[in-house]
Structures are given as structure tokens and as C-alpha cells.
Amino acid sequence: MPSDRIEAVYTAMMYASAPCHVIHEDPDGDVFCRMELWDLGNANIFLSRSSGIRLLRTAKLARQDAMPVVALSVQRSAHGHLEQRNYLQVVPPGELLAVDLSGPYDYSWSGEGAAGCIQIPSDQLGLPIDVIRHAIPRLRASPLYRMVTDHIRNLTRDPAGITADPAAAIIATTSVELARALLVSADRSGRLTSQVLAETLLTRVRTYVRQHLADPDLTPGRIAAAHNVSLRQLYKVCAEAEISLEQWIISQRLQNVWHDLRQPDKRDVPVAVIAHRWGFRDSTHFARRFKARYGVSPGRWRRSHEETPPS
């Protein structure tokens, strides 16, 4: 019955996110909702898809929560509408918004919609609450906006696989550091900007590299420019982490080629094409590096796994 579904959605929302009033666009129509919640370190990944819905969190409900939480959410379908602290945002699919779940807000979409977010307790961010609240409506002004948006979109694409991965703890730390850098960058008050951006530089560099591995023009100079630091500073932070930047980039590219060569849907794609897709311009150089890393040629590796389903 519709009334049962409405009650189920309310109960699920109370558990998965912040307590709020759940108002359905058409309560007498085809009400549906699917929610998924995955633990990621001290944060969590929350996915929702539903018919038209409005989540109204009043000041009274907000006062009931002891632990402030920030949600960074990428709209997956339909336009999201968020009003918080007298500021209205209309967010199209593919774009990012942030919500201070500890405060009152009014969030909605019309028709079938979906969103995926990471919910981070504010104490994990290590930022004053006024910095967080000042930054929330200003995210798009940050040069880190697109990087963090892409990161969260990737997080919410396969939360089951990500949270089960042995590297989940690293992904959780990376996600919190990126969120912290984005918020302090958007705040622009200057109080913590230099400190936080310096502390998160390596995380931001590694995320940037992973997102641009397919670009053959990915160079240390370009990476430094993207993060507004000198080459010397970039190499210094990598050296302190005992990372050779150029070798790490090649290693990440080889790992992606290695993975693609095992995929059944890519068996008809030439090895050289796959290598080029991951930024290798020179097929000979690629083949030499692949063999040095894995002990066999790329072609032999592919043939040895053609009958073996990918794990």
C-alpha cells in the first residue's frame, strides 16, 4: 500500500541520513524509493533513488542531533533543489552540492531522481563549523570543485566494490582530505587555507594524476601548475613520501592496462590501442615497461588470461 511505502521511506531516511520530514511529490501515486548505505571508515556512502521527494529538516529536528555531519552529494538524475540558511541552489545532474546535516534545510527533486553522497562527521574534517558553513554555498568558486566532484561520482558508482577493497581505508582518508581541502578553498577566509592546502597537497596530486592518467600530456609541470605550486615544491612533497612522481604515473598506467587486458569486453581491442588510451604514446616503450613490471609481454599476458574470468 502507498501508506506503507511512505512509512518505510521515512524510517529508512531516519536511519541512513539526518532525521527530517519526508514529503512525497505525489503521495497517492507511484511512490518508490531505494536507499543504500555503505560504511567507509568514519564516513559513509549514501545512495538514493526515488520518485519526487522533499526532505524538510526543521530547526527543532536539527537541535536533536549531537554530532554535526557534512554531506557532499553529486546529483545523478533530476535537478536537486537545496535551500539552507537563506541560500537556494539548483543543482543539475553531474554537479556537486554540500549540506550541513546538523542544520535546518529543505532539499527536493521533482519526478524520478537520484543522488549519491559521502557523509562525513564534521570532527573528521578538522575545520571550524563556521568555515564549513561559509564554504558550503561557495563550492563552485573553488579550483578543486571538479576534482572532488569527479572523486565523489566515482565513489558512488560502485560503493560495494570500493568499501570491500583492501584499500578502503586509504580511500576513506583520501575522501576526507579532499573534502577538507575543497571546503577550506571555497571558504577563502585565509585563516586555514595555506595550512590545509599544504597538508592535503599529496592527496590532491595523487587524485589529480589518477583522474588524468589517460592524458599523454600529463607532466610534472602540468601537475604543479594545476595545484599552483612550483616544480620544486611538487618534487619535495613527493620525495618526503618516498614517491618518484614519474615512475608512479607509469606504474598507475601499467596497472590500468593490466586490468583492461583481462576484460572480456576488450579482447578484440588491440594491445597498442589500450596502451594508448592510458597515456602511452610509444608502443615499444610501453611493451618494455610492461614486461619489466609483470615478467611477460602484454600479448602473452592477455593470452594467458583469455580463458580465466577476471576476479
Fold agreement (2-199, 249-305):
no
Classify domain 249-305 at the CATH class level: mainly alpha
Instruction: Give 47's contacts (C-beta < 8 A, 6+ positions apart).
Output: 34, 35, 36, 37, 114, 115, 116, 117, 156, 159
Backbone phi, psi, residue 124, to 5°: -75, -25
CB 278 within 8 A of CB 257: yes
Is residue 196 classed as helix, strand or coil in its secondary structure?
helix
What is the full per-residue pLDDT of the chain (311 aa) written as tens digits?
555 555 555 555 555 566 788 899 988 888 888 999 999 999 999 999 999 999 999 988 887 765 789 999 999 999 999 999 999 999 999 999 999 988 899 999 999 999 999 999 988 998 888 889 999 999 999 999 999 999 999 999 999 999 998 889 999 999 999 999 999 999 877 667 788 888 899 999 999 999 999 999 999 999 999 999 999 999 999 999 899 999 999 999 999 999 999 888 888 899 999 999 999 999 999 999 999 999 999 988 888 876 554 44
pLDDT at position 2 is 52
Instruction: Give 179's contacts (C-beta < 8 A, 6+ positions apart).
Output: 70, 72, 118, 120, 125, 148
CB 52 within 8 A of CB 109: yes
**CA–CA distance from 247 to each of 47, 241, 295 (Å)?**
36, 14, 17
Helix axes 201-211, 245-260, angle to 10 degrees: 40
Instruction: Give 50's contacts (C-beta < 8 A, 6+ positions apart).
Output: 9, 32, 33, 34, 112, 113, 114
**Residue 65, strand partner residues:** none
Give the pairing of strands 69-77 and 53-57. Answer: unpaired
**Eight-class DSSP state of 198:** H
Task: Give the start-to-end residue ranges of the domains of the chain.
Answer: 2-199, 249-305
Q: What CATH homologous superfamily does 2-199 map to?
A: Jelly Rolls (2.60.120.10)
**CA–CA distance from 60 to each of 6, 20, 65, 70, 103 (Å)?**
22, 10, 10, 18, 10
Q: What is the DSSP string of 85-125?
A: TTEEEEE-TT-EEEEETTS-EEEEESSSEEEEEEEEEHHHH
Residue 72 C-alpha cell reads as: 557532499
pLDDT at position 311 is 45
Rounded Cα gap, residues 202 and 54, in angstroms: 39
